[in-house]
Structure 1
């Protein structure tokens, strides 16, 4: 695939956060971009507003005529989440088109560029977004493909005029093995995607292969304790790169950064929680490798507004705080709840959680139950299936039976606002990676006027 020859691009599953970033990139290059997704969302509507044609019907007749013949000027990108029997996918398969995964396209875009890749079962979206923001805010510059909407830019893709690209390296389906980064970060390697990997050992081996693809002379930063060789980073423990002297000042986390180049004191971050200090520490380490000054780094961290649905404040009042978060793995939930407890130690914590995928719910039921048992009041929604069919016996009711918290209940998604209106929580968080985000605006409106 030669980027300069591409005149038309079709995205099968265009509504995904990573796919939509690529769609925007090619549209910005002047390429005619079209796509299909099964669900209309705010993101797909935004893409349409930007001039990208999207259909929500899986029919061959919905494919524009100028996409009916394969050739070097036509790019077709698909997500593995699309069912194998999808009509549009099979039209391209049977038509002799070369189909590309998102990661393959990122690999081709990043060829010949200085590639900064962030991998991890969690933490990679925030870390890559912080790196991209430091580069943009300091005027160093970069192009970036992010796994979330960066609030400073209201976008998941940033455009640069230099030869530097920041990418989120996705471990799902071993996609990140198409990348050969100059600088890389591994934030975490907790067991996940066991429907793909089978066991934690296979997942770890995939991360080791990714680490081995860092270019000769490049640099890999690894969170301390992970079974991969690299420069380590950590919060309040021995490592090559450290965050120390962590404190909360006026509701903001502040810390000192330390590496072999010296110390940056009093780094303030709007990102709450020690897990986000860890993410910021990795981002600073990358920025230091690029020669960005301590003062520019401190300034950029101070004005970084975060990523949509990553500990995103929706309501902040003396009597009510409402946060929305994308957490969908036990360790992500633990980090989110820990940050809330540290910031608001005297408030009762009410959680609305939507489990994501039947396989993940089955594989990590004990872990989910343990962390959900630590909250004060749990409202559990049905499992969001995404690409999966139901699995016998794997339900939210099964998970709720394992939870030992003081207050817990199964709640239909359409009843959540009514229940929350009755409870009037002092500290509320909605968490999950499915369609729980459709509750955010109704809950925000409800609590704003409570």
Structure 2
């Protein structure tokens, strides 16, 4: 992290190592749309890249020192957290003495001169950021935004708006959210995660306390007080004399959801603001956790001075974000959804939503544990949460940035699922999973793939097998 983070306009030409990721592609898009010359490279062609190419961004496949072109003094290189020190482009940037920036510093550079609303929390960041963005767009606020997934409303994960507001997903996994100094923030919840980075639950929670300390004293903090970890931030805000806005279903919430109805693919609720009924909101996404995400976004918009009617219209226009209960298709009465859930609380929330979608049908879920360290700590809880499904298929652990541990596999999760053995299967080879799901599914069922790794590839394969089986 540099001692000083320069505004994006002062970074010269900017090359992105790992431009295909959700985080770096969003930063690159904002910079390119602002007139900065941007290039990048990645070893995969991701869904975030087409909109960058439309802006004229040159994107190289793979990593090579030559991809830095003639970058020199005054130019910058933004590097994904997944890049290793021996990455040839990182090594070449060091050799040339170029300005090297982590993802967080790159995003912070684009925030200069804007009124930032940062959305943080263990779960629900992407959805809440997306909902708030849609609400602001419906109010003609034209915000700049950076989201960790493709926003269905725009088909992009970022845009450089003409208005003063900047809505940013603030990631705690690598400490990135401690680089930003937002005007306001939304915290969805605080439950221990990413202990490979933070070490202990206490350190993880302390990071959120530090994050609250970075909010502008003239701004505000919105937090869901239904969640104990987020509720604890009330005292942190009070110690700073920072305006605190509690949201939730509980009676202590300032902006409250009542009369919540989950039906089919919708979630409806009535909004009370300090006891005054503002109206009813009907979301086009299912799940009580999405009601709370929408409530946080709504509260932030209201405290920014925007009208309820416009905010409601934006929330009701939202149809989802990529990999968040995303419908992949339907064949022969079997609907296939994909979601990013990889923590026990997230699993439980998405299975509740899937149950609403299934109606009289069953819920057939495939789950891929993410990270050895997370599975070691929460594998049993993951399995218990999966028990809300009717049929469960568990894959092996997606390793990501960690080395394998023979003692920590998907079998740990599968063994904790509280269902009869014939309704649970541990299938370590991902190639075998689509057929296993098709064998278990029947017309009327919802098939849901869950996890933060490669499991997202399975949904289309299931649909293909279902089509082949048609008479």
TM-score by shorter chain over 0.5: yes
Per the alignment, residue 434 of structure 1 pairs with: 453
Assess if the C-alpha contact under 8 Å between 1:315 and 1:447 holds in 2.
no
Can you list the C-alpha shifts for 1:415-435, whole angstroms capped at 9, x where unaligned?
233233333341210111112
TM-aligned CA distance change 1:448 to 1:207, over 3 Å: farther
Per the alignment, residue 126 of structure 1 pairs with: 127
Shift of 1:145: 0.7
Structure 1 range deviating more: 7-16 or 182-191:
7-16
Is the counterpart of residue 10 in structure 1 residue 15 in structure 2? yes
Whole-Å Cα distance in 1 between the matches of residues 95 and 174 of structure 2?
A: 23
Per the alignment, residue 168 of structure 1 pairs with: 169
Per the alignment, residue 137 of structure 1 pairs with: 138
3-state SS, counterpart of residue 433 of structure 1: coil
Structure 1 range deviating more: 309-318 or 143-152:
309-318
Whole-Å Cα distance in 1 between the matches of residues 177 and 329 of structure 2?
A: 36
RMSD between aligned residues: 2.1
Shift of 1:409: 1.5
Assess if the C-alpha contact under 8 Å between 1:21 and 1:146 holds in 2.
yes
Assess if the C-alpha contact under 8 Å between 1:284 and 1:297 holds in 2.
yes
The structure 1 segments of at least 4 consecutive aligned residues displaced by more than 6 Å after TM superposition are none
Shift of 1:327: 0.5
Shift of 1:250: 6.3
Unaligned ranges ≥5, structure 2 = 1-5, 235-243
Is the counterpart of residue 27 in structure 1 residue 32 in structure 2? yes
Assess if the C-alpha contact under 8 Å between 2:263 and 2:286 holds in 1.
no
Whole-Å Cα distance in 1 between the matches of residues 410 and 436 of structure 2?
A: 18
3-state SS, counterpart of residue 324 of structure 1: strand
Assess if the C-alpha contact under 8 Å between 1:348 and 1:427 holds in 2.
yes
TM-aligned CA distance change 1:316 to 1:290, over 3 Å: farther
Aligned length: 446
Q: TM-score, normalised by structure 1?
A: 0.93
Per the alignment, residue 347 of structure 1 pairs with: 361
Per the alignment, residue 336 of structure 1 pairs with: 350
Unaligned ranges ≥5, structure 1 = none
Is the counterpart of residue 147 in structure 1 residue 148 in structure 2? yes
TM-aligned CA distance change 1:317 to 1:39, over 3 Å: closer
Assess if the C-alpha contact under 8 Å between 1:256 and 1:265 holds in 2.
yes
Shift of 1:311: 0.9
Per the alignment, residue 101 of structure 2 pairs with: 100
Whole-Å Cα distance in 1 between the matches of residues 47 and 307 of structure 2?
A: 38
3-state SS, counterpart of residue 173 of structure 1: coil
Assess if the C-alpha contact under 8 Å between 2:348 and 2:388 holds in 1.
no
Can you list the C-alpha shifts for 1:220-277, whole angstroms capped at 9, x where unaligned?
0111032212321112543111111111456421111111383222211112111000
TM-aligned CA distance change 1:237 to 1:321, over 3 Å: farther
Shift of 1:41: 3.0
Whole-Å Cα distance in 1 between the matches of residues 28 and 109 of structure 2?
A: 15
